[in-house]
Structure 1
Amino acid sequence: MTIGRASRIHFGGLSGGRPYVSEYWIISAATAEIAGQIKSIWPQARRGSRGGPFDIDTRTDRLACRLTGPGAVSVEMKLWKNARVAHHCDGRDFLSPVRLAGRLCGCPPGIDERKTLARMGSGPQPVILLKLSLHDAPDAGAFEFASNSWDFLGCVSVLPESASTLELRLTPTTVEGRSGFTYIRPSIFPYR
């Protein structure tokens, strides 16, 4: 297994200072060797045109992955005020600062209530980090996927604890209305 900094799985970023979103998974490999392994798995994959030197556009909206072990799923909630963390919890207990760690944080139990408070600027938002390996390339090492999506939080919170092999999916979702637009929604399910 490759040792060193983790590679990333994502579907957008910044290019020339401008944000972009892809309908396909992008893998930012930590090394040229890992990038070569990725390209050999997905022959349709091509070098990403917007990111770093080892970005691979997989040309697929589904990735089979495995959790790397205990602690591979991290779900935290953070509220930022004036460029500082004003509230940091796991949805039930404070995680920081040290003087509050382990005490009840006061967040409501339901995702909908939390989301409402976050939209009003008085509640924290999800910070989700998954540590994964690719099902088809276990020797490619560790990969990280990060999301702040409330929908993704809903998917992660209902995953069975026994699910070690998962499928990351990207789904285009259209919002109707006067300024209708399409956004890409990440989700995760047990792999079948």
Structure 2
Amino acid sequence: MINRVVITACLVMCITHALAITKCISKDGKISFQETTCAETDKALIVMPSMQPTQPNRADVQAQQKRNADAKNRIAIREAINERRPIIGMTYAELEQSIGLPQSINSTTSASGATQQRVYYFDSVTWYVYMSNGAVTSFQNAIGGLGRKTSTVPCPSAHEIRSVETSASSITLTDEQRRKYAQQLSEMRSCGK
């Protein structure tokens, strides 16, 4: 008895796995159920969809792979920011969050476009970060390299730094003026460190 139930269940599953039942309503109101699609003039309603697995659309698979790669990249960038180091793919803002403002920026314009080298001096390492189209394309570091720049000029007072900060916050500044103020503030704040 159990064998008959199991066999019947398997047969039902096999049949329903392969077939899709469609309810077709013709223009004159007649209803029919069939395994094939309805005529173009009929209304169709799938009553029992086919249980056959469908092949994923190649574009959907590629889109999902891109979303997964983007998510991994965002996680890697977040980790790099927390670890205070650059990583390829970072934007200007993410790089600033990670290691602050550069001490110097060297720009190059060529037939292939504009690139920047941003230099960051720290106590035990100097970072050279290369950017193109607003993103980090490569970087290198010199361990025990140049260290912080030394200067014979005395460090600015807190009042002098605040004065430059106030000037830098003016709404009438151009982008170039803002960059110069940012660089000046970075040098002032890092003096003596």
Q: Between Structure 1 and Structure 2, whose CA radius of gyration is higher? A: 2
Relative to its length, the structure with more strand (as a share) is 1
Identify the TM-score tier after normalising by the shorter chain.
Answer: under 0.3
Q: Which has the higher contact order (CA 8 A, sep 6+)?
A: 1
When the two structures are superposed, what TM-score results if normalisation uses the length of structure 2? 0.20
Select the structure that is richer in helix: 2
